[in-house]
């Protein structure tokens, strides 16, 4: 039986072109890019060529791009680095209420251990926030605002441009976690106006363990750790050249496929939403139908536990998620859905289907064939769903 993978927001398979591009840097071109001999120079050229490729995708200067181990590290460098740099003058930050834990946790650290005040920017029932709400929270003590570009659970695409305008009007820096948007949408850092932007390789058919952080020229942050001169001391440590080459190739492929991927995945997502909502009573879509990353579909099935649905689908060779992979198995309702005002009983039954390039309509037809009976079986055992019936 074919295994059907619908958890591409957690991670993606590495594209064969990416693997091919990376292989020489494990074997024959293995030099340290900080070395001055031939092997080091060869690696340095690959590193800087990749920097130019990645920078061109988000329309920044290569000198504004710094390679990291992934989205979590990029987020931490941006948030903690800014806070530490400005702590003598400003000790307040604002983050979105529906952020990934890579943003939430450093903010909590600043609040609990570093004496910072943290405010959470509320979202509406579809996961959107507003410039007016942000303006209400900004004070003279605000050092940074961090709001995700595309939400990892619902796919909601924030109007980052309008939010950065508010922040900059009050002389406040703005960071966005774009891990779920770069490579899936066109992202221009000058157009959206951010000061810092995080991205990752393994969400876009690149390798795990590599990401990047855009830091606009003139923005100063404190490094989180110290070592050599790598990445202009913003992120010291020998660069993972093979992975960086893979990240650049993944974005090159994404550039070629962007329109066709969006069209293909958008059509499949609509087919899945309409099929599930039409066949299964008491369910609803979390997040918007429009202004959403096309491959992300989050549906609440009332009266069931999301983890039970995940395990039941897994037994039928279908891989999905009940939320972010980083919090899978906690048993707690999604903080993203809670921030959107989704009732706990509905949030507990939420499933994230994240589609990918290999997803076919036949895959989704199979899912829509087995999903109604799974939900029916779980509801028959549910004291919550059967209350009052």
* Residues noted as catalytic: 326
**Are 146 and 80 a contacting pair, CB within 8 Å?**
no
Helix (H, G, I), strand (E, B) or coil at 23: helix
Helix (H, G, I), strand (E, B) or coil at 323: coil
**Are 150 and 178 a contacting pair, CB within 8 Å?**
yes
The residues, ordered by sequence, that sit 6+ positions from 95 with a Cβ below 8 Å of its Cβ are 79, 103, 104, 107, 118, 119, 120, 121, 145, 146, 147
Largest CA distance in the chain: 76
**Are 189 and 18 a contacting pair, CB within 8 Å?**
no
Separation between Cα atoms, residue 93 and residue 172, nearest integer Å: 9
Separation between Cα atoms, residue 91 and residue 140, nearest integer Å: 10
Name 150's bridge partners.
Answer: 157
What are 27's two structure tokens? 């074997």
The helix (run of H) or strand (run of E) holding residue 256 is: helix 241-279
**Are 64 and 55 a contacting pair, CB within 8 Å?**
yes
């Amino acid at each position: 039986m074919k295994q059907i993978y619908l958890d591409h927001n957690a991670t993606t398979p590495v594209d064969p072109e990416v693997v091919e591009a990376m292989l020489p840097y494990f074997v024959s071109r293995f030099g340290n890019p900080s070395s001055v001999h031939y092997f080091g120079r060869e690696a340095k050229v690959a590193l800087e060529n990749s920097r130019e490729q990645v920078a061109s995708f988000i329309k920044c200067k290569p000198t504004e791009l710094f390679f990291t181990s992934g989205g979590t590290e990029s987020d931490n460098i941006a948030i903690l680095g800014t806070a530490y740099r400005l702590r003598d003058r400003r000790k307040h930050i604002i983050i979105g209420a529906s952020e990934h834990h890579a943003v939430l946790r450093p903010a909590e650290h600043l609040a609990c251990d570093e004496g910072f005040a943290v405010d959470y920017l509320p979202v509406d029932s579809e996961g959107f926030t507003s410039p007016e709400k942000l303006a209400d929270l900004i004070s003279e003590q605000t050092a940074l605002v961090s709001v995700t570009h595309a939400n990892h659970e619902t796919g909601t695409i924030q109007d980052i441009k309008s939010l950065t305008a508010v922040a900059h009007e009050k002389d406040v820096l703005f960071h966005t976690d774009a891990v779920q948007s770069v490579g899936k949408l066109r992202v221009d850092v000058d157009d959206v106006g951010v000061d810092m932007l995080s991205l990752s390789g393994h969400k876009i058919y690149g390798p795990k363990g590599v990401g990047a952080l855009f830091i606009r020229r003139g923005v100063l942050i404190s490094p989180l750790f110290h070592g050599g001169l790598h990445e202009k001391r913003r992120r010291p440590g020998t660069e993972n050249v093979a992975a960086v080459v893979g990240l650049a190739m993944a974005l090159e492929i994404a550039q070629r496929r962007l329109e066709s991927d969006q069209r293909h995945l958008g059509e499949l997502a609509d087919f899945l939403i309409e099929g599930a909502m039409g066949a299964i009573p008491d369910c609803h879509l979390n997040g918007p139908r429009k202004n959403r990353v096309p491959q992300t579909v989050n549906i609440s099935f009332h009266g069931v536990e999301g983890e039970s649905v995940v395990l039941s689908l897994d037994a039928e060779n279908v891989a999905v998620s009940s939320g972010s992979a980083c919090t899978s198995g906690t048993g707690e309702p999604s903080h993203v859905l809670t921030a959107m005002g989704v009732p706990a009983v509905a949030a507990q039954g939420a499933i994230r289907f994240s589609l990918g390039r290999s997803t076919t309509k036949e895959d989704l037809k199979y899912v829509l064939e087995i999903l109604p009976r799974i939900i029916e079986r779980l509801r028959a055992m549910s004291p919550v769903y059967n209350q009052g019936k």
